[in-house]
């Protein structure tokens, strides 16, 4: 008669490994002798140290194991799927289509390392991850993620998200929302929003956005924005396409946002780029198009627009703020150059 064997859970394997360590140490102790010649099974400081190191190594190995996500129609909760584990993977062919709630959810119990090669769809968020420490999440997406009524990806304590070439992230609200200061988004694929007043990529407290020539970020309808820095640090580069709707902006830095950003790709929306911030320097060597007539608008104060060699502006440049600086390689052609402090690079 054939017997069905079930794989032991991770905690059971850990227990068996630790039992083996105890047994090996005990064999060594059993053969020790006291000064008087009698047997001694005492635990010496050295052997105790070996025991602790062995246990720590076993626990560390368990945490480093990659746990496979199952296909299904319910939310996959990482901390429940494999308590204590930190590294998870949805392999190619995995399909998660949650009928309610998120597709994948991870709380603040761990600093998650998550890789997606499958298809993840949530009725609310596609993937929602917190972390034990600020920016503790490392997330790589190689396939497709969708949030039907909320964000495609929400990282509530920041972290790093890499959306690889050919991969897609779509949200009914923000495509990607990063709420931790200093978050990082690297995009070589497609990230989109489908709702009014939301963004392809949204940084609630600053961060860095870097997009290659294969990357696109924008809106699939409504009045969505491209990339938005709400406040905090601004950093990154764009070599791809960032686009917004006819009444919105492709790039928007606002509030107390400060930092530098470079565009060698394309910004295109009703207004191509808006600096409503207080200390952001935007360097353009690509194309900025304002389909509503304004390519770049500076409504904040102390911002700098640098138009480098190869820069193309389809639309005017407008400054309604104070102490803004325009640096040109070439001659001033903006309609309202008199409102600017101009530094010419020769």
Tokens 């009524």, residue located: 149
* Whether residues 258 and 167 fall in one domain: no
Q: Is residue 159 part of a domain?
A: yes
Q: Are 211 and 166 in contact (CB under 8 A)?
A: no
**Does residue 141 have a pLDDT over 70?**
yes
Biggest distance spanned by C-alpha atoms of the chain? 101
Tell me the CA distances in angstroms from 151 to 74, 81, 107, 157, 199, one per residue in order: 18, 23, 16, 15, 10
Q: Is residue 283 part of a domain?
A: yes
User: To which H or E segment does residue 30 belong?
Assistant: helix 10-30
- Quickly list DSSP for 79-110: HHHSTT--EEEE-TT-EEE-SSS-SEEE-TTS
Task: Identify the weakest region by mean pLDDT among 5-14, 122-131, 228-237, 270-279.
Answer: 5-14
* Whether residues 150 and 248 fall in one domain: no
* Whether residues 234 and 318 fall in one domain: yes
* Whether residues 323 and 259 fall in one domain: yes
Q: Is the dihedral of CA 242, 247, 249, 252 positive or negative?
A: negative
In the listed set 172, 201, 232, which residue is the last one of a domain according to the structure?
A: 172
Tokens 């054939």, residue located: 2
* Whether residues 167 and 94 fall in one domain: yes
* Whether residues 245 and 322 fall in one domain: yes
* Whether residues 144 and 241 fall in one domain: no
**Does residue 258 have a pLDDT over 60?**
yes
In the listed set 172, 200, 222, which residue is the last one of a domain according to the structure?
A: 172
Strands 206-211 and 183-187: parallel
Burial class of residue 214 (count of CB atoms within 10 Å of its CB; 0-12, 13-18, 19+): middle
Tell me the CA distances in angstroms from 56 to 42, 48, 53, 62, one per residue in order: 22, 12, 5, 10
β-sheet bridge partners, residue 342: 326
* Whether residues 152 and 249 fall in one domain: no
Q: Are 260 and 280 in contact (CB under 8 A)?
A: yes
CA 268, CA 293: separation in Å to the nearest integer?
11
At residue 7 the predicted structure's pLDDT band, cuts being 50, 70 and 90, is: very low
Mean pLDDT of the chain: 84
Q: How many domains does the chain have?
A: 2
At residue 220 the predicted structure's pLDDT band, cuts being 50, 70 and 90, is: confident
* Whether residues 160 and 231 fall in one domain: no
Strands 32-33 and 127-129: unpaired
Burial of 273-306, coded b for 16+ CB within 10 Å and e otherwise, reads bbbbbbbbbbbbbbbbbbbbebbbbbebebbbbb
pLDDT score recorded for residue 130: 98
Q: Is residue 192 part of a domain?
A: no
Segment 258-265 shows an average pLDDT of 97
Q: Is residue 56 part of a domain?
A: no
Predicted confidence (pLDDT) per residue in 106-128, tens digit:
999 999 999 999 999 999 999 99
Q: Is residue 49 part of a domain?
A: no
**Which domain covers residue 281, as residue numbers?**
210-332+340-345
In the listed set 172, 201, 223, which residue is the last one of a domain according to the structure?
A: 172
pLDDT score recorded for residue 38: 55
* Whether residues 222 and 326 fall in one domain: yes
Helices (H), 31-159: 45-64, 78-81
At residue 48 the predicted structure's pLDDT band, cuts being 50, 70 and 90, is: very low
Q: How far is CA 66 from the centre of its chain?
A: 20
* Whether residues 273 and 325 fall in one domain: yes
* Whether residues 227 and 288 fall in one domain: yes
**Does residue 27 have a pLDDT over 50?**
no
Q: Is residue 135 part of a domain?
A: yes
Q: Is residue 80 part of a domain?
A: yes
pLDDT score recorded for residue 88: 98
Q: Is residue 205 part of a domain?
A: no
Predicted confidence (pLDDT) per residue in 169-185, tens digit:
999 999 999 999 999 99
Tokens 């009928």, residue located: 99
Q: Are 89 and 113 in contact (CB under 8 A)?
A: no
């Amino acid at each position: 008669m054939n017997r069905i064997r079930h794989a032991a859970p991770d905690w059971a394997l850990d227990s068996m490994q630790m039992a083996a360590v105890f047994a090996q140490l005990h064999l060594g102790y059993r053969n020790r002798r006291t000064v008087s010649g009698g047997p001694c099974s005492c635990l010496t400081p050295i052997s105790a140290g070996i025991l602790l190191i062995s246990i720590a190594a076993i626990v560390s190995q368990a945490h480093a194991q990659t746990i496979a996500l199952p296909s299904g129609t319910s939310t996959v909760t990482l901390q429940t799927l494999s308590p204590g584990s930190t590294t998870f993977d949805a392999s190619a062919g995995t399909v998660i289509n949650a009928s309610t709630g998120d597709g994948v959810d991870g709380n603040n119990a761990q600093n998650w390392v998550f890789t997606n090669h499958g298809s993840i769809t949530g009725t609310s968020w596609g993937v929602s991850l917190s972390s034990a420490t600020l920016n503790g999440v490392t997330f790589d997406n190689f396939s497709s993620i969708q949030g039907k009524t909320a964000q495609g990806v929400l990282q509530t304590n920041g972290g790093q998200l890499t959306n690889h070439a050919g991969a897609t992230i779509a949200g009914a609200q923000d495509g990607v929302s990063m709420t931790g200061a200093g978050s990082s988004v690297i995009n070589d694929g497609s990230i989109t929003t489908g709702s009014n007043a939301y963004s392809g990529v949204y940084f609630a407290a600053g961060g860095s956005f870097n997009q290659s020539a294969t990357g696109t970020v924008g809106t699939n309808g409504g009045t969505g924005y491209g990339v938005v820095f709400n406040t905090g640090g601004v950093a990154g580069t764009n070599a791809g396409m960032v686009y917004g709707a006819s009444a919105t902006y492709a790039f928007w830095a606002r509030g107390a946002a400060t930092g530098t950003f470079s565009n060698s790709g394309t910004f295109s929306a009703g207004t191509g780029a808006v600096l409503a911030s207080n200390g952001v320097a935007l360097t353009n060597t690509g194309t900025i198009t304002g389909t509503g007539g304004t390519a770049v608008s500076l409504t904040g104060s102390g911002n700098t627009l640098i138009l480098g060699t190869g820069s193309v502006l389809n639309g005017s440049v407008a400054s309604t703020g104070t102490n803004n600086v325009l640096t040109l390689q070439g001659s001033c052609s903006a309609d309202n150059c008199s409102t600017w402090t101009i530094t010419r690079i020769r």
